[in-house]
């Protein structure tokens, strides 16, 4: 590990951050300080943090002394981008992937079990002792903050960054730069001042298991938000969102509820969300009467459905997207190119044509095609 004490006698430097250019310059300066073994206090969306390079012996010692944290008590590793999680947790579970994809960047700290830390990409060609600093009893805490200054800083550091809240032990976390300076003073080398933290309270800490999770510390996000993040989200897309996609979503909910042995209204308790949208939908439009009729024949009530236009947020939140036609798949990929991998044509037989303007018999034929396609797709679903 590197040694040295280049910053041990330098008084704290404060850099105010007011604009995008300030953000870039401040991030670069902070990364340089961390790379040389300094301690940096920095803003996040929750509270201010103080960080150091985990592979710098003296910086680590200073951080432990500042936080009165004994050897063996872990810090949280902070990363600039959600994709970096695989450097530390190579074998993410499906639940872990959902929480990372939907929760990061954001006010969420995730604890992962990693049975063999020394084999992770983050520790490749590094001192094995580093494993004990960032993994504790085979577990690591990871955080990807939703703050441009913090992420800009982290992106420029060439080693793992560990951090904790910018306060002395037993004291309230610092929610702005002045409070961080009062708490840490000349114990740090650099303070990035980007104004008050957005939330002013700590991140939510969640331990991620194979199929379940445990809230270790309540924070910005409550239990309802966490359940939503952990849910498996299915999104059905057609054009107007008044017939094909609401029919498919209604049938899918009905079948999934039967599979899980619960009511449709209880799917959310089983961490399952099923929605629909349209590429050219008029928000709030009522579902087609013919679609309501053919669904009622199948014991499915979609009469309360109201149309909504698909948008990048809906696409990002979805774990699996089923489209009625190839043109719908193209629209999804154009809006969010990365979503192409999770987008499937509902029917392997080809496009399911729009029944709009046809009578009940046309809708009946469409519903039958959707039912046939859903039978196969449901067999592919792992919950």
Determine the Cα–Cα distance for residues 134 and 141; give it in Å rounded to an integer: 8
Q: Which of 98, 244, 253, 255 is catalytic?
A: 244
Burial (Cβ within 10 Å: 0-12, 13-18, ≥19) of residue 249 = buried
Q: Which of 25, 87, 319, 354 is catalytic?
A: 354
Determine the Cα–Cα distance for residues 276 and 287; give it in Å rounded to an integer: 12
Neighbour count for residue 339 (Cβ, 10 Å): 18
Strands, E assignment, 66-179: 76-78, 108-113, 139-143, 161-165
Determine the Cα–Cα distance for residues 150 and 155; give it in Å rounded to an integer: 9
Determine the Cα–Cα distance for residues 233 and 14; give it in Å rounded to an integer: 44
Q: Quick check: is 244 catalytic?
A: yes
Neighbour count for residue 305 (Cβ, 10 Å): 23
Q: Which of 23, 144, 175, 238 is catalytic?
A: 238
Extract the tokens encoding 40. 């940096």
Among candidate residues 77, 93, 140, 132, the one with its CA nearest the CA of residue 114? 140
Among candidate residues 182, 186, 140, 223, the one with its CA nearest the CA of residue 48? 182
Determine the Cα–Cα distance for residues 154 and 247; give it in Å rounded to an integer: 46
Neighbour count for residue 260 (Cβ, 10 Å): 14
Q: Quick check: is 193 catalytic?
A: no
Q: Quick check: is 189 catalytic?
A: no
Among candidate residues 341, 106, 322, 319, the one with its CA nearest the CA of residue 231? 319
Q: Phi/psi of residue 214, each to 5°?
A: -130, 130
Extract the tokens encoding 264. 């449709």
- The residue assigned the tokens 């695989």 is 86
Determine the Cα–Cα distance for residues 183 and 294; give it in Å rounded to an integer: 66
Determine the Cα–Cα distance for residues 207 and 76; give it in Å rounded to an integer: 13
Q: Which helix (H) or strand (E) holds 233?
A: strand 232-238
Among candidate residues 125, 77, 128, the one with its CA nearest the CA of residue 104? 77
Determine the Cα–Cα distance for residues 246 and 76; give it in Å rounded to an integer: 43
User: Hey, which residues are catalytic here?
Assistant: 238, 244, 354
């Amino acid at each position: 590990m590197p040694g040295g004490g280049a910053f041990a006698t330098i008084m704290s430097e404060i850099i105010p951050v007011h604009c995008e250019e300030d953000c870039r310059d401040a991030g670069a300066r902070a990364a340089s300080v961390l790379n040389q073994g300094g301690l940096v206090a920095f803003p996040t969306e929750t509270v201010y943090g103080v960080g150091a390079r985990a592979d710098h012996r003296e910086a680590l010692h200073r951080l432990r002394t500042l936080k009165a944290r004994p050897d063996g008590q872990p810090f949280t590793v902070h990363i600039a981008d959600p994709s970096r999680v695989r450097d530390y947790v190579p074998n993410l579970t499906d639940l872990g992937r959902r929480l990372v994809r939907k929760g990061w960047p954001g006010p969420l700290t995730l604890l992962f079990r990693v049975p063999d830390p020394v084999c992770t990409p983050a520790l490749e060609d590094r001192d094995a002792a580093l494993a004990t600093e960032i993994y504790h009893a085979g577990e690591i805490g990871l955080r990807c903050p939703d703050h441009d200054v913090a992420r800009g800083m982290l992106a420029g550091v060439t080693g793992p960054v560990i951090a904790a809240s910018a306060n002395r032990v037993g004291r309230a976390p610092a929610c702005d730069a002045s409070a961080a300076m009062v708490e840490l003073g000349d114990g740090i080398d650099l303070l990035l001042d980007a104004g008050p933290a957005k939330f002013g309270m700590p991140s939510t800490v969640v331990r991620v298991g194979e199929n379940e999770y445990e809230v270790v510390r309540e924070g910005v996000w409550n239990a309802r938000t966490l359940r939503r993040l952990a849910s498996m989200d299915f999104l059905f897309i057609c054009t107007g969102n008044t017939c094909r996609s609401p029919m498919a979503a209604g049938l899918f909910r009905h079948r999934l509820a039967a599979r899980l042995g619960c009511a449709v209204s209880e799917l959310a308790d089983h961490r399952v969300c099923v929605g629909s949208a349209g590429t050219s939908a008029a928000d709030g439009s009522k579902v087609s009467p013919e679609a309501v009729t053919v669904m009622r024949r199948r014991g499915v009530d979609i009469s309360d459905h109201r149309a909504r236009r698909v948008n990048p947020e809906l696409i990002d939140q979805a774990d699996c997207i089923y489209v009625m036609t190839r043109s719908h798949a193209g629209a999804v990929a154009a809006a969010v190119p990365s979503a192409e991998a999770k987008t499937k044509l509902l029917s392997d037989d080809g496009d399911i044509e729009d029944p709009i303007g046809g009578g009940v018999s046309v809708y009946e034929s469409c519903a039958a095609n959707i039912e046939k396609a859903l039978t196969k797709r449901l067999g592919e679903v792992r919950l």
